Every structure is written in structure tokens, then in C-alpha cells.
Structure 1
Amino acid sequence: MNVKTLKESIHKPFLNLTDGGINHFYGDVMLFAGKLFETQVENVPFWFQRHFPLDYRTEIIKETRLFQYAVQQPSALPAALASPSWNALVDRCKDWHTLSFESAQLVVRVLFLLGFYEYAIDLLERDAHVQHTAPGWNRLMVAAAKVKIHRSGFLADGQMSAVVESLNSCVTEKGASLRTRLSAHQHLFLIHLIDFKDLQGAERHIAGAKQMLSELDGEMSAFERNVRVSSWYRAAAMIPFSKGDHSDTRAYMDKCESIALGLQPANEFERLIKQDLLYSVYESSMKAAVGSGEIAKAHEIATQQTKRFSFDAAAYFELAEVCMQMGDARAAAAAFHRAAVFGPPGTAHAFFMAAQCYRDQNLPTHALRSLNACLRADELAVSASDELEELAGAAFPFLLEAAV
């Protein structure tokens, strides 16, 4: 199987909710989410944690050259390419004004998974019935979409103040559900910690999230409660981590991992939720290990991630970064190459980083090949272009002499 066919087989669920032929965890998530539309199951009180970058879909289309899937909203996909699940999504979007709150939640969540953030915002800002049945929820989801757009580098920093104002109103709005207020606190926690570097503000919102969990306790199943509590511990661990307190970080992460491992899924949805949660748990544990200087432990965790999520580019990126920390340029290059093969996201960046590893090993030919592959994935990669010219000149000076 060539690389193009491999990428299509892995990523096809993200293009039209159709099985691509390779068993891939996040592809399974997409297929399951699509099937929810067909089965009319709507009441899903919580959701998967991982969403892909805004340009993820664009990268898939570019690398597989399946340009017929380049649409900005579900209804624009040609009928011949649409799966039954995709058509069900299109129908729900058309009926947006009449959807129940539960159905509207499902539509927005799947649009987020597919990367249609702008279209989701358009739907949410319409005068929908759901605005009256679930106060604050529309604003929460618009803010969540804009945060994702910001994280992908497509929202100006100045616009984040309006997002924060909207999320703060979700926390205080009369009639807003506990789940809406909990989610608003969680978003505000990350914004204050990551974007504003405001530790005090982050501590205020992680405490607010804990209070919401306490008030929500009687409304949740045991499974939902444990998912949310485990997630809270993982987020809370970021506070001592930011302070350099590795002991408290480890204590929070141990609690988070223990709860996640103890989850008892009762159905396919809960099984996928547990697996998604464990990915995030181990990712955070790996970063905590790197932060505390436990590089061997970080390498063990990262290696296990590539086995659990064997077609996930992000897992190989993490392994490559740990290998670089260990000074193992050869292993890092191999991991970056795997990330490039299974990407997107980050195919061009993976090839570029592989080239750096080859340069460290004094393997200029390998580095040149990787830089060339980087430019095939992203012709606007200026750093790769400059480095390719420099490296080619050093490795093959007679070419430059001939050009003169």
C-alpha cells in the first residue's frame, strides 16, 4: 500500500463518515458519532476530549489529493460522496431551528470533530429554539469553537477578551445548567493558564469547576462522574506543574490515572470515551515526567502510546520529542518519519524535524530527502526551503558552481 492510499484509508472517516479500511481509534470515534444520527440516539451528556486543528481537514484533502471533499459545510459535499451518516448530519443541520437541545448538542459536537468550526458558529448564532431551552449553551459552544480556532492560529489574540467575557457570562447566567457552567469554568481555566499566564485566575476557575462537579454529582451516572473527576485531576495537575512542584503534580496525575483505569464501560460509547480519556491521561503523564527529569519514564509512556494508538501521528510526535530529550537522534528521526506517514496533522513539520535529526547525525542525503518531502507536503515551508538550499550547497558544491 503506497503512502497516499494509506493516508486515505486512515483518514476517510474524517472526510465523509465512511470506514476507510484501517482500524484507527479516532476513525472509530467518527464512525460511531455518525451512527448516532442514524439510530436517533441523542441524549449524550458528555463527549470526547480531543478535537483536531482547524486545518486538519484541509491537510487530509491536500495529502490524499481527494479535492472533491474540500467543502466548508456538510451540505456542500456531492451526493455521490455522502454516506448515510453524512446525509443524516446534513438533514439535522437543515432542521436546526426545530431540533431538541439533545439533538443540537450532537450536531455541534460532530461538526467540531469534523473541523467545521466556522459553520458550527453560524448555526449557533442563528435564532434557534435551543437558545430558549438551554440558556447559555449557545454562547458556550460559540466560545469553545473560537478557542479552537485561536489554538489553531486563526483567531487574533485581541479577540480572546470577547471570548472570555462570553464564557464568564455562561458561568453567571440565570438558568444555565450545571454542565454548561462546568464547561465554561474548564475553558476559562485553560485560557487563564495557557493564554494569559494568569495562575491566580486559573486557580479560581479550577476551584469553580470543582464546585460545579460537587453540585452536579446527583445528576450524573457513576461512569460520567468518574470521567469528569479524572479530567478535573488532570487539569488541576497543571497548577503545581506550572509552579515546578513535581511532587504534587505526580500526586494529581496518579489520582487521575487511577480513576481513568478503573472506569467500567457499559457500551461501545463508554469504551471509546475511556480510551480517549486514557490517551489524554498518558499524554499529560509523559509531559509531567519530562518536566521532572524522568526521561526514561517519559520514553516508556510515549512508546506505549504508539502501541495503543498505532496510526496516530500525535503519538509519534510525542515519542520523537522524548527521544530528542534523550539525545537519541536516530530514534527521533524514525519516530518523526512515522508521524509523517500517518499524518496529518503535522506532516510537513514531521519531515522538517526528521531532517534536523539527520543533520545531527551527519546524514545530509537523508536530511535532503526529508526536506524535499516537507516541501511536497507544504510548498510554503520557507524554513525548509532555505535549509534545503543551504544543505544542498554544502553537500553538492559542484551544483552551485555549475549554476554560476
Structure 2
Amino acid sequence: MPRPTADRSRGAAVRLRGIVKQYGAGRPAVNAVSLDIEAGEFITFLGPSGSGKTTTLNAIAGFIDTDAGEIELGGVAVAAMRPHLRNIGMVFQHFTLFPHMTVAENVAYPLRQRKVPAKERARRVQAALERVQLGEYGNRRPDQLSGGQQQRVAVARAVVFEPRVLLMDEPFGALDRKLREELQIQLKGLHRDLGITIIFVTHDQEEALVLSDRIAVFNNGSIDQIGTPAELYDRPENRFVAQFLGESNIFDGTVQEVEGVRVLACPEGRFILPAPAADPGTEIHAMVRPEKCRITPLDPDGAGLTNALKGEVEEEIFLGSSRKLLVRTPTDRVVTVRSTAGANRDVSVGSKVFVTWDSADLLVMR
């Protein structure tokens, strides 16, 4: 039977309108950010350092004052409300556990601050620890736990008082890859069980793709694009999103019409564009993902292929279940091809090849 899903009405909707934060002269750290986050949604703020994602998160938490704009949590304006009154849980990259307290005492701290009776406090603490699979660790101290266990204690402390919104600022950034992946799975389960709204900040694209209902891609203080992981990966709206979210081969050129067919004319060649294409004379960017590319040692004309780049395999990167080939073209352009580990075993460094793809897989961007 499928696992039951929590009632997402337990989360609070978050509404941002025209948020601006300026530090000194120059471009604002956050520049007119507007966003509607549904109750119970898991949304990730993704972007490079300095893009505005953490500043926006801190504005929602109330840790910084904004210069303009409105913030609503559950339909209530909170711009003038102090952080502890917003009923928001927060988890940071650095766990900030109290070293002199036991695990249970750390988790109970927010309940003590809210004057929850001792019996109810003990019940909630145990339930929170069991949710993060640390039910038997209540009497230990933080220095007796691994990094991953400490982070789970921090999560338990953030949800023990039943907030409607949980903010997470790169919480797994200091952990090794295997542990990070384990905690990502646990966090997805926790979100499913609790049904609260989670706003997650990261610069790790894979983490964002794994965790999120939607992703907001931040760039230079603004949101460049927002959508589901599949929407952003398959249909990025601009060059920045395409390059930041996954690997991409991007060709810059001009649309031409050849024998009634629209093509992209660029230094690397002429490639058939998917319909509907831009008007002739339009300058565009076109992208094809490495996993949509194929390698063939055959002449494209003989193989009946429509789009092809001639080149030489410059590097082969083994990635376990897949491998990546870097192909250098006569125009000195390097094109990336990704395939299963068992494919193209007759191709290696130094092989003369053609890189091909289907026209439908060439995405036109602004």
C-alpha cells in the first residue's frame, strides 16, 4: 500500500511581494523578489553564492529588515513581527547545538521557551527524536554523536514545537556525499509525514532536483525562473538556468531558412531547429543536454542523421553507471556527451567521431 501523505494544510502559505534588501552602494542583495509558496510545499532556493537566496530566507525568518516589500505567513503580514513570534523552525549548516545539554534537552529547548508543561514536553521530544530515527539517543550529548546525527537533532529541535514553516539554510553542506544523500531521503520522508511548508536553500543542483516540489533559481538578487525540477531541467528559459541546473551544450547563432526548414547557423555548423522556431535573422541560444547526444563513428549522411558535429574524443570520464565523453570539434569547441557505461565501448580517447542528436531535443532559449 502507498504510504499515507500528511495533510498539507498543516503548513502555512508564504507570500513575498517586491522584497528589496540593499547593503551599501551597488546592486541590491535582493531586488524586487515576488513569490507565492503553497501551504505544505517543499521549495528550494537555488543559486550561486551572492545570488540573494539566503538573504531572502533570512528576511522570511525575520533575521534582517527589508528595505521594501511585503511578507505574509499564513495570510498574516509579518514584516514588523520579531522572529520568535513568527512560529518558524530553522536549521542551519552549522548545527548550533548546546554542548552542555543532552540531546533531549537540546530538542526540548524551544518547548521550554514556550512554557510547554513537562509531561507534554517529554512526549513531543520523544516523538521528534523518533521521527529522525534517534529515539534512543536522548541521554547522549552532542559530542557523542556523528555529524549526521547532530544534524538530525537540529532538525528534531526545529520541528518539535510544530511550526507551520521550516527554513533550512544549506543544512547538509558540511557532510560527506553519502551521508548527505541519506539525510535527503530522510528529509523527504519527514516532509511527507509532517505536511509543513519547507523552504530549503542550497547551491547544490542535484540536491535541489532530489528534494523539491519546485525550485526558484536565484541570480543577481532576482529569481530567473521557478518551476518543478523537470520543468527547469527540460525547459530552462535562459542561458544561466540551463548552465546552472545540469550540464548543457549551448550553441549561439542566427536562425536561417534552408529549403523551407528553419536551422540554427553557428560556427559549429547548421542544426535543424524544432518547430515552431524563431523567425529567420533572429539571434538565439540553443541547448542540447549531454544525455540527449549520441556518439557515432559513422558518416552522418550514411547513417541518415540530421544534426551532427565532427570531432575527436579528448577525454573520457568514468562515472560508475555512466560515462562522460568530451569531444573537441574543428572550431575548438568542446561538446559533452553522457551515456550508459556500457555504450560506445568501441570509442575511446583519440577516436574520430560524430556527435548527433534529434532535432526535438534542441531547446531554443532567449
Identify, as 1 or 2, the structure richer in helix.
1
Identify, as 1 or 2, the structure richer in strand.
2
Structure showing greater radius of gyration is: 2
- TM-score (structure 1 length as normaliser): 0.28
